[in-house]
Amino acid sequence: MSHSPNQPILLTSSLHVDDARKAIAALVDDLIQESSAINDPADIEAVALDKAIDRILAVDLLSPIDVPAADNSAMDGFAFDGKCLDTTSPTISLRIVGTAFAGKPYDGIIGSGECLKIMTGAVMPAGCDTVIPQEFTTAKDEFTIEFKQDQLKLGENRRLRGEDLQKGKPAIATGRLLRPSDLGLAASLGIPTLQVKRKLKVAILSSGDELRSLGQALDAGSIYDSNRYSLTGLLNRLNLEIIDCGIVRDDPASLKQAFIEASNKADVLISSGGVSVGEADFTKQIMQELGDVGFWKIAMRPGRPMAFGVLKPVAGKSPARKTLFFGLPGNPVAVMVTFYQFVRAALLQLNGSNQTQPPLTQAMAEAPIRKKPGRTEFQRAILGRSADGKPTVRLTGSQGAGILRSMSEANCFVILGHEQGNVAAGDWVDIALFDGLL
Ligand SMILES: Nc1nc2c(c(=O)[nH]1)N[C@H]1C(S)=C(S)[C@@H](COP(=O)(O)OP(=O)(O)OC[C@H]3O[C@@H](n4cnc5c(N)ncnc54)[C@H](O)[C@@H]3O)O[C@H]1N2
Ligand code: MOO
């Protein structure tokens, strides 16, 4: 489904998670087109390589050189011109005329019946096309090696100039979420700085009269605001600029004021709480005044109610761009699940990344899992391994949407699709790991 950001998203029936994801992606796309958020030079900055981790590359990184810069040996061994060998005899014998080291090329000529002792990474001498690894040779005398003809593979054990990267061609494409290997790759090309998208400014706030800040005393019925801390952790993992707007009381005037202030400063506003049926009514009214926001019921668990849309730019905002808005459900696990399922991808997309979806894999359920068809479930679990080496997964106890321990003890989500019914022990299920390795 798609819609323009100028049309309020009015949905009353339960929305399939895939449709919610598509609607979000379409609206983010509209926003990008409208604001030129991708191509505006003001949204690009140069950062030193050692500060570029987890940033998004804004301009193709073109290789200034061929990599490797010259043909070189992939093995410690002996280089020669395979075309000049007498391959009729079962044993080949070559005279060593010199040595090439990595960084110290040999610039003499290797004639017929001759070879050059060569180290891994050393430039191949002119005219030579093959390296025989040292372990396939025997020393006939101090200056001569021998090897069996059937060990010979013409053209092997060398790395060709430009086989990794060619001068002028993209070494890393625009939109790459930069990982350690990308920084190494840029360094291998001698490039000290990268053009990356500026960090998105993301405002967060928690709404609820029962919420108290850390350090405050808890009175009857009040609880500590944990959602801002989970959200801060999630946003820090994406290396974004966080604007903490604190706790906002559940009254129209405070909420309206907080939303105006946040949207004045931020590209994106993420709130938690206040989106379920009872409370959404007055929030809905405020949202109608401030922007186009739909109040969704999503066929998922946890994370059923969610508000999503845009807030209009407030007077004086520069540049005058809309603010993307996510009103996440208040339950602490629902916040993290909806962030993982919708917000993360939208933030990456808005900032020009082309890798918005985390990889899924599969594991075998260690025990049965109850599941009703008709909604997507995100259960918290621990990935392990069976005695015979198969990946297995077991749930982290009670799965209530308010039980943050189920997240804290888990290392993955078990994702049970919309149509899926009960899972039997031994069934394969989709999982998404919390942590990436690199
Ligand atoms: N009649 C209905 N009631 C509810 C529905 C429904 O469809 N019909 N949906 C339920 C679901 S599912 C969820 S989730 C919640 C979402 O409600 P809200 O977004 O309005 O969230 P709150 O009522 O404000 O809070 C829910 C729960 O989470 C706690 N909370 C809220 N904010 C924080 C925070 N920052 N840190 C820690 N804990 C927080 C809050 O105290 C509540 O216990 O609605 C259901 N109801
Ligand atoms: O979003 Mo609610 O937490 O599904 O339970």
Ligand 1, atom 24, lies closest to the CA of: 273
Mutation test residue for ligand 1: of 228, 276, 277, 283, the one with most atoms within 8 Å of CB: 276
Q: Ligand 1, from 331, 337, 407: best to mutate by most atoms within 8 Å of Cβ?
A: 331
CA–CA distance, 118 with 124 (Å, rounded to integer): 8
Question: What does the DSSP 8-state code read for residue 379?
Answer: E
Cβ neighbours around 340 below 10 Å, total: 18
Question: Could you give the CA distance from residue 207 to residue 249 in angstroms, rounded to a whole number?
Answer: 6
Q: What's the Cα-to-Cα distance from 82 to each of 155, 331, 381, rounded to whole Å?
A: 7, 70, 58
Contact 411, 433 (CB under 8 A): yes
Q: Which two tokens stand for residue 60?
A: 């193709």
Percentage, residues of the chain above pLDDT 70: 96
Dihedral pair phi/psi, residue 298, rounded to 5°: -100, 140
Contact 57, 150 (CB under 8 A): no
Domain 14-44+199-350 and domain 361-433 have a common topology = no
Ligand nearest to the CA of 299: 2
pLDDT tens-digit readout, 275-292: 988 777 788 899 989 999
Q: According to CATH, what is the number of the domain 361-433?
A: 2.40.340.10
303 CB less than 6 Å from ligand 2? yes
Per-residue exposure over 99-125, b if at least 16 CB sit within 10 Å of its own CB, e if not: ebeeeeebeeebeeebbbbbbbbbbbb
Say if ligand 1 is within 6 A of residue 402 CB.
Answer: yes
Pocket test for ligand 2, best of 14, 230, 304 (most atoms within 8 A of CB): 304
Between CA 3 and CA 323, with CA 333 as vertex, the angle to 5 degrees is 35
**pLDDT one-digit tens code per residue, 221-273:** 999 999 999 999 999 999 999 999 999 998 999 999 999 999 999 999 999 99
pLDDT of residue 280: 73
> How many other CB atoms sit within 10 Å of the CB of residue 90?
8
User: Does the structure show a pLDDT above 90 at 94?
Assistant: yes
**331 touches ligand 2 (CB under 6 Å):** yes
User: What integer pLDDT is reported at residue 36 of this predicted model?
Assistant: 63
How far is C-alpha 48 from the geometric centre of its chain's CA atoms?
A: 20
pLDDT at 3: 40
Choose among 22, 57, 146: nearest CA to 93.
Answer: 146
**Domain ranges (residues) in the chain:** 14-44+199-350, 72-159, 361-433
Question: Measured between alpha carbons, how far is 154 from 161 in angstroms, rounded to an integer?
Answer: 17
Counting other chains too, the contacts that 105-113 makes at CB distance below 8 Å and 24 or more residues apart are 105/70, 110/79, 110/80, 110/81, 111/84, 112/81, 112/84, 113/84
- CA 201, CA 207: separation in Å to the nearest integer? 20
Cβ contacts of 278 within 8 Å, gap of 6 or more? none
Q: DSSP labels for 71-140?
A: -EESSSEEEE-GGGS-TTSSEEEEEEEEEEBTTB---S---TTEEEEE-TTPBPPTT--EEEEGGGEEEE
Q: Which CATH superfamily is domain 72-159 in?
A: Molybdopterin biosynthesis moea protein, domain 3. (2.170.190.11)
Burial of 331 (0-12, 13-18, 19+ CB in 10 A): buried
pLDDT, position 41 = 74
- Categorize the per-residue pLDDT at 39 as very low, low, confident or very high, splitting at 50, 70 and 90: low
Confirm or reject: Cβ of 175 under 6 Å from ligand 1: no
Model confidence pLDDT, tens digit, residues 158-206: 999 999 999 999 999 999 999 999 999 999 999 999 999 999 999 999 9
* 231: enclosing H helix or E strand: helix 227-237
| Cβ–ligand 1 contact at 68 (below 6 Å) | no
The answer, yes or no, to whether any atom of ligand 2 lies below 6 A from the CB of 302, is yes
- CA-CA distance, 273 to 297, in Å (whole number)? 14
What ligand 1 atom has the least distance to the C-alpha of 297?
7
Convert the pLDDT of each residue in 113-135 to its tens digit: 999 999 999 999 999 999 999 99
Q: 323-328 and 268-272 as β-strands: parallel, antiparallel, unpaired?
A: parallel
How far, in Å, CA of 5 to CA of 24, rounded? Answer: 10
Q: What architecture does CATH give domain 14-44+199-350? A: 3-Layer(aba) Sandwich (3.40)
Give percent above pLDDT 90 in the chain: 86
* pLDDT of res. 8: 43
384-428 pLDDT, tens digit per residue, is: 999 999 999 999 988 899 999 999 999 999 999 999 999 999 999
SS3 (DSSP) at 358: coil
Give the residue whose CA is nearest to atom 5 of ligand 1: 276
Reported as a pLDDT band with limits 50, 70 and 90, residue 297 is very high
Q: Over 70: is that where the pLDDT of 111 sits? A: yes
- Per-residue pLDDT tens over the stretch 304-340: 999 999 999 998 888 889 999 999 999 999 999 999 9
ipTM value of the model?
0.97
